[in-house]
Amino acid sequence: MAVGDSFTEGLDDPYPDGSGYRGWADLVAGQLAALAAERGSGFGYANLAVRGRLFNAVVAEQVPSALAMAPDLVSFAAGGNDVLRRHFDAAALVARLNGVVGELRAAGADVILFRFADVTRRLPGRRVVLPRVNILNDAIVETAQRHGAFLIDLWSDEEFGNPLLWSVDRLHLSPAGHRRVAAHVLAALGATPEPDWLTAPPPPAPQRWLAARGADLRWAGEYLAPWIKRRLTGRSSGDTVTAKRPSLAPFIQ
């Protein structure tokens, strides 16, 4: 069972046939389903994550549905959208994180949490956002330790400094980034990932100053401006999106 936002929905890792986004969670589910089949046991997978969801919305909309399905394993990743918002309430988020993970564990589910990679390296406002990311990550580490959850430490993986592990929007992971996350998750669960999932592409050569500023301007026009417009109008990229796998069911790619 996977809950969260665009990170878990799978942006920007489209299926080759254009049927939607795959992402690390689908990759993990495929490997676990194959292992279950080898052992002759059943396997069900649901992914309730929706892009743009804030932490409280994930907890209110997705966690009750997850608990109702009584999963054995839940990945919980939320808060990334909150740290980008003007009115970020760190204390409230930290308290609720502890509560929701405790609730999932009390229901008998193992829980996967993520210490997020540093997405701020190529984003504006890093001096404001990075301390918030650190608060969130520290809380995730403490919560994982307190409740005995699996902790996937993406922050410590220096390969996520490679821009080719990120989408052109600089916010979401690329297909290579999702494969790397999937490899970390499978390793934490005691499963063996595909060998090439931890093979990162060589980082691109540094751009000259003028070319880099031109790339920044193009990025701002194509991605930053629409994001700001949505914030000003109270809209979200996930307003018309529903969960891609809303019920526990056999995994079929």
| pLDDT band, residue 125 (cuts 50/70/90) | confident
**pLDDT at residue 183 in the model:** 98
179 vs 252: which has the higher pLDDT: 179
Verdict on whether the full-model pTM lies above 0.85: yes
Residue 144 has pLDDT above 90, yes or no: yes
Give the residue with greater pLDDT, 209 vs 26.
26
Q: Give me the chain's average pLDDT, please.
A: 95
- The number of beta carbons lying within 10 Å of the beta carbon of residue 253 is 11
pLDDT average, residue stretch 168-188: 97
Per the structure block, which two tokens stand in for 237?
């990229």
Q: 130: exposed, middle or buried (C-beta count within 10 Å: 0-12, 13-18, 19+)?
A: middle
List of domains in the chain: 2-204 (3.40.50.1110), 205-238 (no CATH)
**pLDDT recorded at residue 168:** 95
Given this model, what pLDDT does residue 93 score? Answer: 95
Q: How many C-beta atoms lie closer than 10 Å to residue 2's C-beta?
A: 30
CB atoms within 10 A of CB 172: 22
Taking CA atoms, 181 is separated from 44, 136, 154, 170, 237, in Å, by 21, 19, 8, 16, 23
Residue 253 has pLDDT above 80, yes or no: no
pLDDT of residue 124: 87
pLDDT at 66 over 80: yes
pLDDT band with cut points at 50, 70 and 90 for residue 37? very high
DSSP 61: I
Task: Return the percentage of the chain with pLDDT > 70, whole number.
Answer: 100
For the stretch 183-235, pLDDT in tens is 999 999 999 999 899 998 999 998 898 898 899 899 999 998 998 899 888 88
The CB density around residue 36, as the number of other CB atoms within 10 Å, is 15
